[in-house]
Amino acid sequence: MTTGLKVCIVGSGPAGMYAAGDLVKKAPDARIDILDKLATPYGLVRAGVAPDHQTTKNVTRAYDKVMENANVRFVGNIRLGEDIPLHELRALYDVVIIATGTPKDRSLNIPGEDKQGVYGAQTFVYWYNGHPEFRDAVPDLDIETAVVIGNGNVALDVARILMRTADEMSTSDLVDHAAREIFKSPLKRVHVVGRRAPENAQFSSKELGEFAELAAATAYTDKTLLPDEYISDDKKQERVVNTNLELLRSFEQIRDGVDGRSIHLDFLASPIEILGDERVTGVRFERNRMEDGKAVGTGETYEIDCQLLVSCIGYEMGVLEGLPVERGIVKNDAGRVAPGLYVVGWAKRGPSGTIGTNRLDSQEVVDLLLADNLRGGDPAKRGPDGLDAWCREKNIHVVSFDDWKKIDAAEVARAGEKSPRRKFVRTRDMLSLIRGEASS
């Protein structure tokens, strides 16, 4: 058994937590620090999962058990590259695992992307989920039409949240500033546009089926684009696609909801230009056809007038000193980046799969790093003690798991009658709460 390893995991989202949990099981005497730039743990579970999908967030109960292990520490409010460089972490710990996800929106790479009213999925989702860095990225929702680019679950989340009523969201943890803007918006139409055919869409049947249950908006799609049946050698995929096609057929055709609101699921179109002067006023699309599984432009164009565009076409890694980034991810060999340096989750393989997909991915990397470190920890590595000394020297006020539990309890206590929590959306407020309770 590998003994005495000092491990630093950068990122407390699902990939990092599954790696920590597997390390606890397979190397129980390892000392594990889980760093996060935020004062709150669990990454996309808190900041990415839609606020009306509370059941999905229950996975944090398992993460809590990992955090409560005596050899595991949460070290929040410390930013890799700004508060502490990667080379310093590698000097302190036997193993460093990068679990930061892919924190940058992919670009559409079309003219007009810099106009006001154009947002990437990360900005928009983090805004309505209360991520502190995006609290003030408030879109102007005094609009009638929005366009969402993409055919994955995030695109459906954005469209659904924009069209939910206040009553529908009463049991969610939608943050106050987003709720005010969304519920007063005169928004009437959302177009969700994908470049490929309906059978190629990447959304789940569960997410798509929620459109049929909206209280005040009706979903629509052009049924002439729907094949009668989808056949594949992959029978699981075949079942999912045919379920989605049946759902699309069930949507009302050009029948507005009770207050005239509608969601249009459009296919076989690629954005080629965002129109307007300083603000977006519309999007020009090129119609596509499918050839050998690829969307190919036909040369025919059309336009959709809109005042908001949200691009949900995926994420990628940004540049971080000391990390080799290639094609939007950390360059790696099955998770190994360099001696003592590993990567898991989206940063390793790209933004794909569900929360649970990260479990096996992280376990495989843990097996790899344990095999690489059979001789155990290096006594010269200071690990958590060295990190504490660094933070004292640099005057970095980190957040512990006990501190997070105080924040969590306060959010739950101040929630509404039906809501599970009312989030703090500014780090300074969280730190003030911690300091106040510590001194009382």
Do the beta carbons of residue 279 and residue 307 sit within 8 Å?
yes
User: Mapping DSSP to helix (H, G, I), strand (E, B) and coil, where does residue 304 land?
Assistant: strand
What are the pLDDT digits (tens) for 319-335? 888 899 998 899 999 99
Both tokens of residue 13?
Answer: 């989202």
Threshold 0.75, pTM exceeds: yes
Domain range annotation of the chain: 6-103+316-399, 107-313
pLDDT in tens, the chain (440 residues): 556 899 999 999 999 999 999 999 999 999 999 999 999 999 999 999 999 999 999 999 999 999 999 999 999 999 999 999 999 999 999 999 999 999 889 999 999 999 999 999 999 999 999 999 999 887 789 999 999 999 999 999 999 999 999 999 999 999 999 999 999 999 999 999 999 999 999 999 999 999 999 999 999 999 999 999 999 888 999 999 999 999 999 987 555 555 679 999 999 999 999 999 999 999 999 999 999 989 999 999 999 999 999 999 999 888 888 899 998 899 999 999 999 999 999 999 998 888 888 999 999 999 999 999 888 889 999 999 999 999 999 999 999 999 999 999 999 999 988 999 999 999 999 999 998 854 33
Do the beta carbons of residue 18 and residue 359 sit within 8 Å?
yes
pLDDT at site 438: 42
Cα torsion 11, 12, 13, 17 to 10°: value is: 120
| C-alpha angle 342-384-362 in degrees, rounded to nearest 5 | 30
- CA-nearest of 186, 148, 140, 434 to 309 is 148
pLDDT at site 440: 34
**Bridge partners, residue 84, by sequence:** 80
Query: What fold characterizes domain 6-103+316-399?
Result: Rossmann fold (3.40.50)
Q: In angstroms, rounded to a whole number, what is the distance separating the alpha carbons of residues 303 and 284?
A: 4
Name the CATH code of domain 107-313 (choices 3.40.50.280, 3.50.50.60, 3.80.30.20, 3.40.440.10): 3.50.50.60
Q: Where are the alpha helices (DSSP H) in 48-143?
A: 60-67, 86-92, 121-129
Residues 6+ apart with CB under 8 A from 55: none
Q: Where are the alpha helices (DSSP H) in 235-349?
A: 235-250, 346-349
Do the beta carbons of residue 328 and residue 171 sit within 8 Å?
no
Q: How many CB atoms lie within 10 A of CB 15?
A: 31
What are the pLDDT digits (tens) for 12-33? 999 999 999 999 999 999 999 9
Both tokens of residue 343?
Answer: 């990567």
Residues 6+ apart with CB under 8 A from 103: 122, 315, 317, 318
Backbone phi, psi, residue 84, to 5°: -150, 130
Q: At what angle do helices 14-26 and 357-372 cross, to 10 degrees?
A: 50
Residues in the chain: 440
Q: In angstroms, rounded to a whole number, what is the distance separating the alpha carbons of residues 83 and 81?
A: 6
Residues 6+ apart with CB under 8 A from 357: none
Q: In angstroms, rounded to a whole number, what is the distance separating the alpha carbons of residues 406 and 413?
A: 10
pLDDT at site 439: 37
pLDDT at site 417: 85
Instruction: Evaluate the CA torsion angle 171, 48, 334, 72 in order and state its sign.
Output: negative
Both tokens of residue 243?
Answer: 């379920």
Q: In angstroms, rounded to a whole number, what is the distance separating the alpha carbons of residues 366 and 346?
A: 16
Q: Which H or E run includes 176?
A: helix 176-184
pLDDT at site 253: 55
